[in-house]
Structure formats: structure tokens, C-alpha cells
Amino acid sequence: MGLCVSSESAKRKGGGRDGESIKLLSTAKVIHVDGRVQEFNQPILAGSITSQNPNCFLCSSESMSIGTCVPHVREDEELHAGQIYFLMPLSRAHTPLSLPDLCSLAIKASSTMTKDEVQLLSSKPRLVFR
């Protein structure tokens, strides 16, 4: 069973505190095996990422859960703004995720977020059990 925390306010653009306009989650983020982050503000296909990283597969943070193998993002699928994706080594393609694996990925993902994104995600959290 995986756990996903999201917030409706973080899914919208603009409307920050005190009237400031915060452009939140407007990019698709890809976290590489080495922790490097690429952000895409224009539509891009998963195959464009994996073709540059032939020993890796791409997965969405939304589809990960403990004790299951990580589903691959299809090559012809467009990455979605506001989503975090991970490049994982092909050697991990058929290995179920453990709790320490998921925690490590969560730490990498949280390090990609700005302070404002973290604060808005913290307000009105909604838990989704999978």
C-alpha cells in the first residue's frame, strides 16, 4: 500500500499568500539516478527522456507503492506538468519497492521543491491510500 499526499491548492497556479502570484507545479520534473533534476515547462514525451538514458526507465511518483514493481511510463506518454518522475536503473525494473527505497525517493523528490511549494502542499493535505 502506497501513500500519496496532495493538496488541491497546490494544483492551481497563482493565488499565493498576501496576493502574491506563485506559479506552482507548472513544470514536469525528472529526477535522474544521480539526483540531478531536469524541469520541462513544455510538453515532452517519456521516450525523449529514456532515449537519452538508455540504461534507465521512467516512472511516475504517483504510481509507486511498497512491495510492487514500479510501472514504467510508456514511451509515447507525455509528461504532465506538476508531476515528478524518476529515472530508475533498468536493473530495478522487476524489483519490488521497499519502504527504504520509497523513503529515499521521497527525500530526492522533496529536495526538488521550493519552500513555497512545500508550504502550500502542507496546507490542507489529503491522504490517498493505494
Residues near 37 by beta carbon (within 8 Å), at least 6 away in sequence: 29, 30, 31, 112
pLDDT number for residue 86: 96
For 84, the 3-state DSSP assignment is: strand
Q: For the chain, which domains are there?
A: 26-119 (3.10.20.30)
Set of cell numbers at residue 113: 521543491
**Chain centroid, CA 51 distance in Å:** 19
**pLDDT beneath 50, residues of the chain:** 1-24, 118-130
pLDDT number for residue 112: 74
Distance CA 50, CA 67 (A): 24
pLDDT tens-digit map of 39-63: 999 999 999 999 999 999 999 999 9
CA 2, 129, 23: angle at the middle one, nearest 5? 85
pLDDT number for residue 10: 41
pLDDT number for residue 2: 42
pLDDT number for residue 72: 96
What predicted TM-score, i.e. pTM, was given to this entire model? 0.70
Distance CA 32, CA 87 (A): 5
